[in-house]
Chains A and B, each alone.
Chain A
Amino acid sequence: MTRRGRLLLFLIAATVTTVLLVGAFVELPDFGTNFHPYGDRAVHAALEHRTANAVASVNFDQRALDTLVEETILFAAVLGAVVLLRQVTGERRRPPRPARVSPAIRRLGVLLLPVALLVGLYVVAHGQLTPGGGFQGGVVVATALHLLYVAADYRALERIRPLGPYEVGDVVGEAAYVVTGLAAMLGGSTFLANVLPWGTLGTLTSGGTVVVLNAAVGMEVACGVVVLLATFLDQVVEIDEESDGARPGTGESR
């Protein structure tokens, strides 16, 4: 496509988008008013199911199916990265070298790692009460493990990260979400209906299935991110192309 053609296409698309956006914004309620028709209903429904964090109720109860799809998107993305970034013919694997890290940073990493793990699990477990939940907590847990890489070296990370269990964890987390939904169906309700006892508002066990689904997502995200970063790290730290020019068509495969 020529430069002119691209510019023309952009201008047309930009004009249409602008018109639609402006049209939509004109119809919107004013910013910062107390008119929240959807919010009021969502909060009401959340409190009915004894879920203090209305956002968690929307994500894992009222619209749990959407979250299942989102979880599956992450799952598919990780799967795609694993397939694309695998070791191919003509690439060799070499052991990672030890890194020199100052003692202060090492100590900070050692101190921070358990704390970060704990905070991650806390964020997952309190998803129904406070901001956060499975996704946020899962990412914190995965980041916590990678403190070993940034505050020590790759060998330290590999010691606590045999990839097998994390791959299994990724799948189990994804499956647990679906199984929870199916269990509700077996119990005579609809898919992903909140059938568990709702408990008392504001306690750790409140919210029914919200707790279970948060845990499933937390597991899937934590394991998925670990696997995802592992494929990236392997590419940079361990996998190397053969230096002698004999790379039969591997360039295109990645």
Chain B
Amino acid sequence: MSTSPGWLVAAMVPLLCLLPVLWFVVRGEPRNRLVAQNLAQLLTGFVLLLTAQGFGRSTYLDLALVLAILAPAGTLVYARFLGGLPPAPLVRWTAVVGVPATVLPLCVVSGAGRETVKLLFIGAVLLAGAWVTSSGSQPSSEPEPDGTDGPSGSEPSSGERAAKRD
């Protein structure tokens, strides 16, 4: 297996960024925890893209593809049960800067071909997912936040009250 150390060094950057993000997932404010989880998915996507090139295994790109597809689903699951998505400029700017900074050099190296199409597609899905999930949304500002999945009867249960206060 021929590794190219340059790409692996580059992968080290988003990987090390995960350390402070972990701190926010574990100790952060409730709103920040969800943002941190979203950011962690994005950074993991960058590491996966860079290591695929670093290890010289283009098939490893499938991992980044699956992550890009499933990451918004994971974030939306939490958003539904934690009472909405907080706006997250940090995630947005990381995506806007990070996705082109990661994908474009990889495209240049891999040249014209199927791999480049795949890279651009993964980048587009990552960017779209991060853009939408970072724009912030509902339901905490709405009168009945738990209309999202229907609470029991008129009196909100404990979990729902908790979600509302979050």
Task: Spell out A's residues near B (CB within 8 Å).
Answer: 94, 96-102, 104-105, 107-109, 111-112, 115-116, 119, 123, 126, 129-132, 136, 140, 143-144, 146-147, 150-151, 153-154, 236-237, 240, 243
Q: Using A100-B142, A143-B70 as known contacts, say yes or no to A153 and B149 having CB atoms under 8 A apart.
A: yes
Chain B residue with Cβ nearest A98: B147
A99 CA to B152 CA, complexed, in Å:
14
- Report A105 CB to chain B, min CB distance, Å: 6
Q: Which 3 A-B pairs have the closest CB atoms?
A: A97-B150, A150-B76, A102-B137
A78 CA to B72 CA, complexed, in Å:
26
B31 proximal to A (CB < 8 A): no
Q: Which residues of A contact B63 (CB under 8 A)?
A: 131
Q: Which residues of A contact B77 (CB under 8 A)?
A: 150
Q: Which residues of A contact B153 (CB under 8 A)?
A: 240, 243
Total interface residues on B, CB under 8 Å, equals: 30
A78 CA to B142 CA, complexed, in Å:
37
A147 CA to B71 CA, complexed, in Å:
11
A147 CA to B125 CA, complexed, in Å:
15
- Report A160 CB to chain B, min CB distance, Å: 16
User: Is the pair B73, A104 in contact by a Cβ cutoff of 8 Å?
Assistant: no
- Report A28 CB to chain B, min CB distance, Å: 22
Q: Using A97-B147, A102-B137, A146-B73 as known contacts, say yes or no to A130 and B59 having CB atoms under 8 A apart.
A: yes
A136 CA to B128 CA, complexed, in Å:
23
B164 proximal to A (CB < 8 A): no
Q: Which residues of B contact A108 (CB under 8 A)?
A: 72, 128-129, 132-133
Q: A101-B138, A115-B125, A131-B60 are in contact. List 10 more A-B contacts (CB 8 A).
A: A105-B132, A105-B133, A111-B128, A112-B72, A112-B125, A116-B73, A119-B65, A143-B70, A153-B149, A240-B152
Q: Using A111-B128, A112-B69, A131-B63 as known contacts, say yes or no to A96 and B149 having CB atoms under 8 A apart.
A: yes
- Report B12 CB to chain A, min CB distance, Å: 18
A119 CA to B62 CA, complexed, in Å:
9
